[in-house]
Amino acid sequence: MDNILSAKKAIAERVKARRREQKISQLKLAQFSQVSFGSIKRFETSGEISLNSLLKIAFVLGCEKDFKELFAKKTYSSIEEVINEQ
């Protein structure tokens, strides 16, 4: 459970960093993403958010492509990696 909590908080911190880099306030992010201000505030402090809301935020911040790699099929860079995997 600690791994899940730390992963959620790490994602929230990265989202917060992207938001700040783009100079978008929590309130503006809420307006642009149509995610409630309270949900964004809660997410940035606890990491708790629905997948739907996280995707909306990702699109506003231009990070939607990051989801394409999530759970993607593993690729190998050499035949040795394939052999070692088996």
Query: Does residue 8 have a pLDDT over 70?
Result: yes
HSE-CB for 76 with a 13 A CA cutoff: 9
- What DSSP string runs through 52-63? HHHHHHHHHHT-
21-78: pLDDT as tens digits: 999 999 999 999 999 999 999 999 999 999 999 999 999 999 999 888 888 877 878 8
* Cα 34 to Cα 57: distance, rounded to the nearest angstrom: 9
Angle between helix 2-21 and 37-46 (nearest 10): 120
Superfamily for the 2-69 domain? lambda repressor-like DNA-binding domains (1.10.260.40)
CB atoms within 10 A of CB 57: 24
pLDDT at 19: 97
Whole-model pTM over 0.85: no
